[in-house]
């Protein structure tokens, strides 16, 4: 199976409601880890970012900044990051904590299932540390995508602005789908802020939040690799009986 997580769109037949075009875009978004390398025009990325900026933000703060990489600039950054990953694996850490130190259920089970499904789809045993490291290294080549984004946020802002940033990032990924592209959000770039900062002239007040690979997926039409919890698992309803 490809490392490109695909989705199968199903109509809401239970309620007899046709899926809205926006629903199609949302359900078609996937985390692609294998791109074709076909070029994406700067104008297309500009269109994506122009529409993504309409994400909501508290008091209209708009806390995001985007560094867009392609061509030689992307290749140079990729080479520097891969070198650091291979030669200094323990010397680079993110400026924020992405995962909890311990996972309660059901989150622990979901994380373990991810590992089984993802590495299993690639034919990599979870005990094969070398193969897993080679797969992780593909992050720094943006999984073969022609465009890479580095997303930052002002470190002087509070947690609420991180919620705003998440909505902006989601808008970027959905706008990519609307243009026949896919993407992959990658927290691992945040670990290498000491390399990215001078390479991209990122000012000291900005914190690297993540990267996003953007491009055409190598393969299409596969079933979704990662399951999603049913509605009953995460939603509670009250008052609709009145």
DSSP assignment of 97-124, as one string?
--S-SS--TTHHHHHHHHHHHHHHHTT-
Residue 239 confidence (pLDDT): 95
Model pLDDT, residue 128: 95
CATH of domain 21-231: 3.40.109.10
In this prediction, residue 65 carries a pLDDT of: 98
Could you give phi then psi for residue 92, rounded to 5 degrees? -125, 125
pLDDT at 156: 98
Write down the pLDDT at residue 13: 42
pLDDT of residue 14: 44
Handedness of CA 155, 156, 161, 163 (dihedral sign): positive
Spans of the chain below 70 pLDDT: 1-18, 221-224
Measured distance CA(208)–CA(150) in Å, rounded: 7
Q: Is the pTM for the entire model greater than 0.75?
A: yes
């Amino acid at each position: 199976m490809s490392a490109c997580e695909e989705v199968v769109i199903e109509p809401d037949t239970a309620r007899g409601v046709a899926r809205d075009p926006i629903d199609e875009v949302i359900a078609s978004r996937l985390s692609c880890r294998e791109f074709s390398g076909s070029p994406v025009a700067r104008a297309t990325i500009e269109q994506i970012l122009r529409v993504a900026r309409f994400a909501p933000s508290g008091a209209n703060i708009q806390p995001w900044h985007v560094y867009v990489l392609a061509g030689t600039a992307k290749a140079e950054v990729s080479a520097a990051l891969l070198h650091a990953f291979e030669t200094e694996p323990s010397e680079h850490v993110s400026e924020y904590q992405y995962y909890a130190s311990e996972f309660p259920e059901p989150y622990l089970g979901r994380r373990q299932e991810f590992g089984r499904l993802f590495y299993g789809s690639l034919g990599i045993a979870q005990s094969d540390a070398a193969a897993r490291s080679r797969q992780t290294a593909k992050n720094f080549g943006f999984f073969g995508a022609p465009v890479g984004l580095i997303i930052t946020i002002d470190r002087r802002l509070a947690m609420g602005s991180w919620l705003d940033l998440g909505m902006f990032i989601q808008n970027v990924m959905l706008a990519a789908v609307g243009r026949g592209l896919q993407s992959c959000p990658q927290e691992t770039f945040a670990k290498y802020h000491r390399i990215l900062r001078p390479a991209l002239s990122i000012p000291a007040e900005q914190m690297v939040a993540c990267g996003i690979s953007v491009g055409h997926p190598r393969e299409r039409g596969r079933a979704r690799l990662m399951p999603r919890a049913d509605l009953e698992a995460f939603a509670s309803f009250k008052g609709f009986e009145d």
